[in-house]
Amino acid sequence: MATAQITYLGDLRTEAVHLQSNTAILTDAPTDNQGKGEAFSPTDLVATALGACIITTMGIVARRDDIDLRGSVLEITKVMSTEPPRKIAQIVLKIAIQTPHELDETTKAKYVRIAHTCPVAISLHPDLVQDVTFEWVVVSGH
């Protein structure tokens, strides 16, 4: 069964529908490439997919480890190459991991490893720089 169906709506916009849930995402070409930039661009989705994959994979393991990561936030910056061909050169991710208690260094290292080995991270071209930094935040009453 197909995962998604994408319809070109014209004017450099698409609608992608996730077939299992019927959830839709619009995309636009970015303003630096003839688009309106009124929605995620396809390359924005690649960068966003990396961030979502990292925190989802960490969440799966955190559930097993009985660690609550709710409220954790990823800030993602996509950097396009300045040389042809046009491609994503770097994805910068700043991850603020919120937990109800301090994690030891071994546990932190485990979650850093998970971030670098999530399915999207290991599927992207090795020339694409994935710059991931972590901030560990303890939130009482979490």
Domain 42-138 CATH superfamily:
K homology (KH) domain (3.30.300.20)
The label of the residue with tokens 């960490």 reads 58
Of 136, 138, 52, the residue nearest 91 (C-alpha): 52
Distances in whole angstroms, Cα of residue 1 to Cα of each of 5, 19, 119, 135? 11, 9, 20, 39
Mean pLDDT of all residues belonging to the chain: 96
pLDDT digits (tens, 9 = 90+) for 36-88: 999 999 999 999 999 999 999 999 999 999 999 999 999 999 999 999 999 99
pLDDT digits (tens, 9 = 90+) for 76-127: 999 999 999 999 999 999 999 999 999 999 999 999 999 999 999 999 999 9
> For residue 8, which phi and psi values (nearest 5 degrees)?
-80, 120
**CB 116, CB 129: distance < 8 Å:** no
Percent of the chain with pLDDT over 70: 99
C-alpha torsion sign, points 72, 40, 120, 18: positive
Q: Taking the complete model, does pTM exceed 0.75, yes or no? A: yes
Q: Is residue 107 helix, strand or coil? A: helix
> Residue 73 has what pLDDT?
98
Of 45, 10, 11, the residue nearest 25 (C-alpha): 45
Cα–Cα distance, 120 to 142 (Å, whole number): 29
